[in-house]
Amino acid sequence: MRDLYQSQRAMRNMRQAAMQRGVVAILDVGSSKIACLVLRFDGPEQFGDADGVGSMAGQSSFRVIGAATTRSRGVRFGEVDAMAETERAIRTAVQAAQKMANVRVDHVIACLSGGRPRSYGLDGQVDVMGQVVTEGDIGRVLAECEVPDIGEGREVLHAQPINFALDNRSGLADPRGQIGQSLTTDMHLMTVEDSVLENLLYCIKRCDLELAGIASSAYTAGISSLVEDEQELGAACIDMGGGSTGISIFMRKHMIYSDCVRMGGDHVTSDISMGLQVAPAMAERIKTFYGGVLATGMDDREMIEVGSDTGDWERDRRTVSRAELIGIMRPRVEEILEEVRVRLDAAGFEHLPSQQIVLTGGASQIPGLDGLATKILGQQVRLGRPLRVQGLPQAATGSAFSAAVGLSLFAAHPQDEWWDFDIPAEKYPARSFKRAVRWFRENW
Amino acid sequence: MRSLKADRVDQPRRDPAPSRWGYRYQRLMLTPGFRKLVKVGLPALVVCGLVAGWGAREANRQMVADAYNDMKTQIQQRDEFMVKVMAVDGADETLSADVRTVLPIEFPVSSFDLDLEEMRQTVAALPAVADATLRVRPGGILQVGVTQRQPVAVFRGPDGLKLIDAEGVLIQAIVARADRSDLPLITGDGARDFLSEGLEIYRVAGPLLPRMRGVVRMGERRWDVILESGQRILLPYADPVIAFERVVALNQAQDLLERDVAVVDMRNPTRPTIRMNEQAVTNLRQTSAPQE
C-alpha cells in the first residue's frame, strides 16, 4: 500500500505539472477504438458569472483543442492483448490529436475498462485528537480503514472516501472544523489486475508520454453521462463498450460501486459474422447500418445484402431480412443486459432511493435498445450522451465518447482520493527525520 | 493466428500508425524551441554561411563595393542634385569677390559633394563677414547669405589705416584717412580692446568735434585726445569721459583751447594742469612781470 500511495501521489504531482503547463492529453484505451483528446487549461475560466457560479458545471476551465480516434488493434476486453499493436494505435491517436492541436503533449491521463475491476467498501474509525476535526484526523481515519485482502496481483485504482460520520451524525460531506469525538469514514476501494495496468503503462511509456493519472472508464463514463441529480440521488451508468460493459453506481456524487461485464459490442459483431457467414468488417457494417433489437413486421420485408468478399461477387449475392439480423443480435444484447442485471442485484442497487439507469457507450446506439433494457433492467432507463465540453468536435460528441469526455472532466476536477490526504505522522517510517534532513539539503 | 514473425515483403500490410521514429520526429517538430530553431535559425545560418563563403573572395567583395559606388555616383550625379551657380547676397562687390575666392568651386557639382558647414565656416572666417548662411536653393543655386561687418571707426595701426567695427575686428585697409573722414580715428596700443570708450569720448566732444584729429591710447592705460593744432588733452585712466566733458565745458566757458596751450593735463582730476607753448610762457612772463 505504501508504494501505491507514493506512485499515486507522484501521478497527482505530474497532473499538477501538466495543468500548470496548460496542456494535457486524455487517452481512452478501449477495445474498439482508442480516443485521444488534447485539453488546454486556460486557468480560471473566462466567462465566469458574477455570482461565482461557473457555467457548465465548471468544466469550461478547459478546452478541447485536439481530438483523434483510431481503430483499436490489440486490445481485447479493455485489456492490452498485443503490446506492439496497442502501442502503434496509441501512437496514431496521439499523433493525430497533437497535429490537430499543434502542440506537443507530454502528459497523458488514461482510462481503462478491463482488468476485472472489483469494488470493496471499507470503513474506519478514530477518536478525534483535539476539539474539532482537522485534516490530520481525516488522514488518520482514512489510514485506519481496514484493507481487505484484495488478492495477489491486484492494484488499487481508486480509493475514495464517500462518507464521513461524526459520533451519531452520518452523511457528512466535509467534517473538517466540526466538533465531535469519534470520526468514522466509509471508503470505496476499487482494484484491478496489476498486469493489465502495467501493460498499459508500458505502452504509454513506449510512446514517450508520461502518465499523469489513471481512472476506470466505467467511473469516467458515469461522470460525463449522469446528470447532477442522478449522481446525487443514486443511479447506475452502464457503459457499453466494444469489449466490455462497465457498470458504475453513483450515490451522493460519489461512485459507490463498480463492476464490469466482459461482453460488449464486439461480441454482437462476431455473432453476426458467424451467423451470416460474413467477414467481421462486413458484420460490423451491417450491425451499424441495419442493426436493432426490436423486430416489427416491416423488418421481415427489408432485405439486406450481405455479399461477402469471397471473390465470387457474381454468385455470392446472399440477402437476409432485417428480422433475421435482429434475431441474431437480440439474444446477445439480452445476455449482456441480464448479466448487468445480475451485477446490479449483487450490488444491492434496488435499495437506492432512485434507481435510474443510464445506458451509454458505443454499443448503446443500437436502435431499440432502451425498449429492451426497460424490460430487463426496470422502468427508469434512459440513453445517455456525454456532457458538452468546449471545443469538442461534433464527431466526438456521441455516446461512444462518454468515457473520454468524463475523463477530461475528471482531469479538471479530480475526486478526492485517499492519497490526497497527508499520511499521519506516526505512520511514517522511522527514517523520516533523515528524509527531512535530505529534503532540506536538496532544496536549500 | 497470424504470424508473429516480421511481415512478409511481398504482402505489405497497410498500417496507419506512424513509425516510432516518425512519431518522435513529429513530437520534436512540435516543440516550440526546436521548431523555431529549424524554421528561423537554420535558414538564417545557411544564408549567412553562403554570404560569408561568397564574400571570402577579394574579387567578390570588390565587385560589391564597385557596384555600390557606381550606383551611388549615378544617383548623386542626377540633374536634380547638381549645383550650377553661386549667388552671394548681402555683400558688396569687394566682399563677394572675396567670397568667390575663398570658395573655389568648379560648377557644376553635385550637392552631395558640397560640405555646406565647412564652407560656411570658411566664409564666416573672412574678416569682413559677421555671419554667413549657405544653402542649396532649388534650381541648382548655391545661395551664400552674408552679413557684413559695419565699420564704426578708422584705426591706425603700425601697418597703415584700417576700418574697424564695434567689436574691434579689423575689416579692411583703406588708403587714406580722407577716404572715410566721417568715421573717428582711433589709434594706440590696446585701443581696439577699449574701442567703446574711445567712441564715447568722441560722442561727448560736442563743439570740439570738428577740431578733433583723433584719440590715442597711451601705454595701454589711458586716452589722449589730439586736436588739430597738435594740442593734446591727457585724460586719466579712471573716468576719462567725465574728465573730457570737463575740458569741453572749460573750453566753452573760457575758450581754453583757443589760447596758446600745448597740453591740457587732466590725469589728476583734482588738479588740472596746463602746459603752454614756450612763446606763450615768455609772453606771460613779460606781461605779468612787475613794471620797474
Task: Choose between A316 and A399: higher pLDDT.
Answer: A399
Burial level of A290, CB count in 10 A (0-12/13-18/19+)?
A: buried
Cross-chain residue pair B16–A99, CB shorter than 8 Å: no
Least confident of A20-29, A53-62, A376-385, B193-202: A53-62
**Mean pLDDT value of segment A172-178:** 84
Predicted local distance difference test score (pLDDT) of residue B9: 57
Distance CA A382, CA A225 (A): 11
Cross-chain residue pair A98–B26, CB shorter than 8 Å: yes
pTM of the model: 0.66
Instruction: Closest CB to A95: pick one of B15, B18, B32.
Output: B18
**Mean pLDDT value of segment B225-229:** 85
Predicted local distance difference test score (pLDDT) of residue A290: 92
Q: Confidence class of residue A426 from pLDDT cuts 50, 70 and 90?
A: low
Is pLDDT of B237 > 70? Answer: yes
Residue among A95, A74, A83 at smallest CA distance from A32? A74
- On whether any CB of chain B is under 8 Å from the CB of A98, the answer is yes
CA A170 from centroid of its chain's CA atoms: 28
Cross-chain residue pair B17–A208, CB shorter than 8 Å: no
Predicted local distance difference test score (pLDDT) of residue B41: 93
Spatial strand order of the sheet with A33-41 comes to A62-71, A33-41, A23-29, A107-112, A210-216
Predicted local distance difference test score (pLDDT) of residue B270: 86
Write down the ipTM of this complex. Answer: 0.74
- Residue A78 has φ and ψ, to the nearest 5°, of 75, 15
Burial level of A107, CB count in 10 A (0-12/13-18/19+)?
A: buried
Task: Choose between A285 and A428: higher pLDDT.
Answer: A285
Give the ranges where chain B is alpha helix by DSSP (H): 20-29, 32-36, 42-55, 58-76, 93-102, 116-124, 195-203, 240-254, 278-288
Is pLDDT of A56 > 70? Answer: no
Predicted local distance difference test score (pLDDT) of residue A429: 57
Q: And the C-alpha cell for B129?
A: 563677414
Instruction: Give the best residue of B5, B15, B19, B23 to mutate against chain A (max A CB count within 10 A).
Output: B23
Angle at which helices B93-102 and B116-124 pack, to 10 degrees?
A: 130
Cross-chain residue pair A98–B17, CB shorter than 8 Å: no
Q: And the C-alpha cell for B128?
A: 569682413
Is pLDDT of B124 > 90? Answer: no
Distance CA B287, CA B289 (A): 6
Min Cα separation A88/chain B (Å)? 5
Is pLDDT of A4 > 80? Answer: no
- On whether any CB of chain B is under 8 Å from the CB of A158, the answer is no
Number of neighbours of residue B208 by Cβ within 10 angstroms:
18
Predicted local distance difference test score (pLDDT) of residue B155: 87
Q: And the C-alpha cell for B270?
A: 583734482
Residue among A30, A28, A29, A32 at smallest CA distance from A287? A32
Could you tell me which chain B residue has the CA closest to the CA of A90? Answer: B17
Q: What's the pLDDT tens digit per position in A182-227? A: 989 999 999 999 899 889 989 999 998 988 888 999 999 999 999 9
Count of A-B CB contacts under 8 Å = 31
Q: Where are the beta strands (DSSP E) in B96-150?
A: 109-110, 129-137, 141-148
Q: Confidence class of residue A44 from pLDDT cuts 50, 70 and 90?
A: low
Task: Give residues with Cβ within 8 angstroms of A406, minimum separation 6.
Answer: A219, A220, A221, A222, A223, A224, A225, A386
Could you tell me which chain A residue has the CA closest to the CA of B15? Answer: A88
Is pLDDT of A153 > 90? Answer: no
Predicted local distance difference test score (pLDDT) of residue B53: 94
Distance CA B252, CA B235 (A): 18
- On whether any CB of chain B is under 8 Å from the CB of A99, the answer is yes
Share of chain A above pLDDT 70, in %: 91
Cross-chain residue pair B26–A95, CB shorter than 8 Å: yes
Instruction: Closest CB to A91: pick one of B17, B30, B32.
Output: B17
Instruction: Give the best residue of A75, A104, A108 to mutate against chain B (max B CB count within 10 A).
Output: A104
Burial level of B241, CB count in 10 A (0-12/13-18/19+)?
A: middle
Name the fold adopted by B79-148: Ubiquitin-like (UB roll) (3.10.20)
Instruction: Count helices and strands (H / E) in chain B.
Output: 9, 14
Do the Cβ atoms of B140 and B114 come closer than 8 Å? no
Amino acid at B228: E
Task: Choose between B224 and A308: higher pLDDT.
Answer: B224
Predicted local distance difference test score (pLDDT) of residue A146: 82
SS3 A211: strand
B38 contacts on A by Cβ (under 8 Å):
none
A104 contacts on B by Cβ (under 8 Å):
27, 30-32
Share of chain B above pLDDT 90, in %: 14
Instruction: Give the best residue of A36, A71, A85, A88 to mutate against chain B (max B CB count within 10 A).
Output: A88
- On whether any CB of chain B is under 8 Å from the CB of A397, the answer is no
The residues that bridge with A240 in the sheet, in sequence order, are A245
Q: What's the pLDDT tens digit per position in A86-115? A: 999 999 999 999 999 988 999 999 998 888
Could you tell me which chain A residue has the CA closest to the CA of B4? Answer: A82
Cross-chain residue pair B23–A207, CB shorter than 8 Å: yes
B26 contacts on A by Cβ (under 8 Å):
95, 98-99
Predicted local distance difference test score (pLDDT) of residue B1: 63
- On whether any CB of chain B is under 8 Å from the CB of A33, the answer is no
Cross-chain residue pair B30–A95, CB shorter than 8 Å: no
The DSSP 8-state label assigned to residue B39 in this structure reads: I
Distance CA A441, CA A32 (A): 50
Do the Cβ atoms of B26 and B18 come closer than 8 Å? yes
- The pairing of beta strand A182-193 with beta strand A118-127: antiparallel
Characterise B168 by phi-psi region: left (phi > 0), alpha (psi -120 to 50), beta (else).
left
Could you tell me which chain A residue has the CA closest to the CA of B29? Answer: A104
Distance CA A327, CA A318 (A): 17
Place of cell 482494484: A191
Cross-chain residue pair A95–B23, CB shorter than 8 Å: yes
Q: Confidence class of residue A406 from pLDDT cuts 50, 70 and 90?
A: very high
**Mean pLDDT value of segment A75-90:** 89
Which domains occur in chain A, in start order?
Answer: 118-192 (3.30.1490.110), 265-328 (3.30.420.40)
Min Cα separation A284/chain B (Å)? 20
Q: And the C-alpha cell for B97?
A: 569677390
A91 contacts on B by Cβ (under 8 Å):
17-18, 20, 23
Task: Give residues with Cβ within 8 angstroms of A308, minimum separation 6.
Answer: A277, A278, A279, A282, A316, A318
Start-to-end Cα distance in chain B: 179
Q: Confidence class of residue A41 from pLDDT cuts 50, 70 and 90?
A: confident
Q: What's the pLDDT tens digit per position in B133-180? A: 888 888 888 888 888 888 888 888 888 888 888 877 888 888 888 888
Question: Which of A82-91, B4-13, B183-192 is the most confident on average?
Answer: A82-91
- Residue B214 has φ and ψ, to the nearest 5°, of 175, 175
DSSP A378-435: -S-EEE--PPP-TT--GGG-SGGGHHHHHHHHHHHSPPP-GGGSPPPGGGS-TTHHHH
Q: And the C-alpha cell for A398?
A: 456521441
Is pLDDT of A1 > 70? Answer: no
**Mean pLDDT value of segment A35-49:** 72
A98 contacts on B by Cβ (under 8 Å):
26-27, 30
Is pLDDT of A53 > 80? Answer: no
Residue among A211, A197, A201, A203 at smallest CA distance from A24? A211
Name the fold adopted by B151-288: Rossmann fold (3.40.50)
SS3 B59: helix
**Mean pLDDT value of segment B194-203:** 83
Q: Confidence class of residue B103 from pLDDT cuts 50, 70 and 90?
A: confident
Q: What's the pLDDT tens digit per position in B9-37? A: 555 567 788 888 999 998 998 888 998 99
Instruction: Closest CB to A208: pick one of B16, B18, B27.
Output: B27
Positive or negative, the CA dihedral B125, B128, B132, B137 is negative
Give me chain B's average pLDDT, please. 85
